[in-house]
Amino acid sequence: METIDGAVIDALAYQRRHGAPLSGAVFGIAAGVALSVGLLGSVIPARETRVASIAPFGAPPALAPSTLLGTSE
């Protein structure tokens, strides 16, 4: 237990001498870049792509549960 206390005290003294590993400015820059990328991603329109059907055997049958639940006739 005594060695753990010594290691913690040494680590705290090292941190006081050399400063924090990453300053608040680094996190501020990262937040600004993330905000800019997010805004640009939402403003720039994406191309509309057509994707092939993911049904494994072609078109789903007419009595598939997904088609039965979606009808309101």
Query: For residue 56, is it within any domain?
Result: no
| Tens of pLDDT, residues 46-58 | 777 777 666 666 6
Say how many domains are in the chain. Answer: 1
Query: For residue 14, is it within any domain?
Result: yes
Q: State pTM to two decimals.
A: 0.40
pLDDT at residue number 43: 86
Query: For residue 4, is it within any domain?
Result: yes
pLDDT at residue number 37: 94
pLDDT at residue number 55: 64
Query: For residue 33, is it within any domain?
Result: yes
pLDDT at residue number 15: 83
Structural domain including 13 reads 1-41
DSSP string of 1-65?
-HHHHHHHHHHHHHHHHH--SS-HHHHHHHHHHHHHHHHHHHHSPPPP-------TTSSPPTT-H
Chunked in runs of 10, what are the mean pLDDT values of the chain (73 residues)? 86 84 85 95 80 67 65 56
Query: For residue 53, is it within any domain?
Result: no
